Structure 1
Amino acid sequence: MQSVDHKKIQQAVTMILEAIGEDPSREGLEDTPKRVAKMYAEVFQGLNQDPKEHFQTVFGEDHEELVLVKDIPFFSMCEHHLVPFFGHAHVGYIPRGGKVTGLSKLARAVEAVAKRPQLQERITATIADSVVESLDPHGVIVVVEAEHMCMTMRGVKKPGAKTITTAVRGKYAEDASLRAEVLGFIKS
């Protein structure tokens, strides 16, 4: 994947400022195209990352019960409007065969998936699938809760509205009581 073209972004931002009737050379805006290019390089750095890379390090541990990391904060950009959405991800899995990963790796995978133009539904499914493909657990559950600025600051204008998406794989897709148990932990 190629790196971010700062010059192109700067030109595009200058054109946007002109298109909305602003003067890109006025004092408050003169460095805005550079700042936006730098920001885009940061908020879209996940385009060059595979979330499965974070699961290369595994540990042998005789544990085949729930591992849950909840309230992982994330920020992403809606691919439909290029405005932020943000919230928390909750990632749980049941290890198989003593194969566990570092807890921080789950948070790093969330970050890698979120930092690209995205849809919340895709973030949720991609995280779940990455855990399944990398760790081959008995089951995976991912719950993502987010507030979307495309619904808050424009359009329907409903601040505080949250969207919740889930992805369940393996035992969590098959067993409603297991799902309910994890959802209870997430709510508490």
Structure 2
Amino acid sequence: MDATVRQFPNSTASDASVERPSREEAEAAVRVLLRWIGDDPDREGLVDTPSRVVRAYEEIFGGYRIDPAEALGRTFEDVAGYNDVVLVKDIDFHSHCEHHMVPIVGKAHVAYLPHDKVLGLSKIARVVDIFGRRLQTQEAMTQQIADTIKDSLKPRGVAVMLEAEHMCMSMRGIRTRGSKTLTTAFLGAFRDDPVAQTRFLTMVYDRR
């Protein structure tokens, strides 16, 4: 049965709704790719591969079906006057490069300066996961996480850093295994105050 992808703010896809093919069409496309690489989709080891790939894609790219703003959920105002940095670091994430559809594996570090309310800490990791489960560039994903927290929480500032290895560089092309790409987004007080930026970076790299 055909379906339509629901688009949300900060999606990497077009603003217009994208018409999805049926599951049968998706499985047929996997069969074509198996034949294209030179294998036989009817041999025993591959006969169920198309259905497995489609099921895996539903999970791996499940971020298209979730609104990241809604995932942030409830905020809390009773914070006993706390207004300093809130940092969640070393958030593991997996994504896929939109140019080659191969994995991006890394860690996210996300901080904000509360205005009058705070988020549940697990919600920050949830937003990272949602954007990771889409075809991405690391630059876009970094900005999407920052913008979503800014728009939903209205904090005084947001800082996001992603550090990741791109399999499109490690597995193919130049094959620079182990190299990391670092991206940052600073909004509000973190953008305007170099001292705040330095403090964020110091907190991220303090591994004690």
TM-score by length of 1: 0.96
Residues 1:71 and 2:90 are matched in the alignment = yes
The aligned residue for residue 12 of structure 2 is none
* Contact persistence 2:93–2:106 (CA under 8 A): yes
Give the 3 Å change call, closer, same or farther, for CA 41–125 of structure 1 in structure 2: same
* Contact persistence 1:4–1:41 (CA under 8 A): no
The aligned residue for residue 167 of structure 1 is 185
Decide which structure has greater helix share. Answer: 1
User: Alignment partner for residue 144 of structure 2, among 109, 126, 130?
Assistant: 126
The aligned residue for residue 9 of structure 1 is 26
> Displacement, 1:54?
2.1
Q: Deviations over 1:138-184 (max 9, x none)?
A: 10000001100000000110010100110000000011111111101
- Matching of residues 19-30 of structure 1 within 5 Å: 19-30=36-47
Q: Deviations over 1:31-60 (max 9, x none)?
A: 111111011000110001121112230001
> Displacement, 1:4?
7.5
> Displacement, 1:6?
2.6
After the TM superposition, which segments of 4 or more aligned residues of structure 1 sit over 6 Å from their partners?
none
The aligned residue for residue 47 of structure 1 is 64
The aligned residue for residue 196 of structure 2 is 178
Gaps of 5+ in 2: 6-19
Q: Deviations over 1:2-29 (max 9, x none)?
A: 3784322211110011112111111111
Q: Aligned AA for 1:168? A: F
Q: Aligned AA for 1:92? A: A
Residues 1:110 and 2:163 are matched in the alignment = no
Corresponding residue SS for 1:64: coil
Give the 3 Å change call, closer, same or farther, for CA 80–74 of structure 1 in structure 2: same
The CA RMSD measured in Å over matched residues stands at: 1.2
Count of matched residue positions in the alignment of Structure 1 and Structure 2: 187
Q: Percent identity?
A: 46
Distance in 2, matches of 1:64 and 1:101, equals 13
Distance in 2, matches of 1:4 and 1:187, equals 45
Distance in 2, matches of 1:103 and 1:159, equals 32
* Contact persistence 2:75–2:118 (CA under 8 A): yes
Give the 3 Å change call, closer, same or farther, for CA 119–5 of structure 1 in structure 2: farther
User: Alignment partner for residue 154 of structure 2, among 113, 128, 136?
Assistant: 136
* Contact persistence 1:6–1:38 (CA under 8 A): no
TM-score by length of 2: 0.87
The aligned residue for residue 14 of structure 2 is none
Corresponding residue SS for 2:108: strand
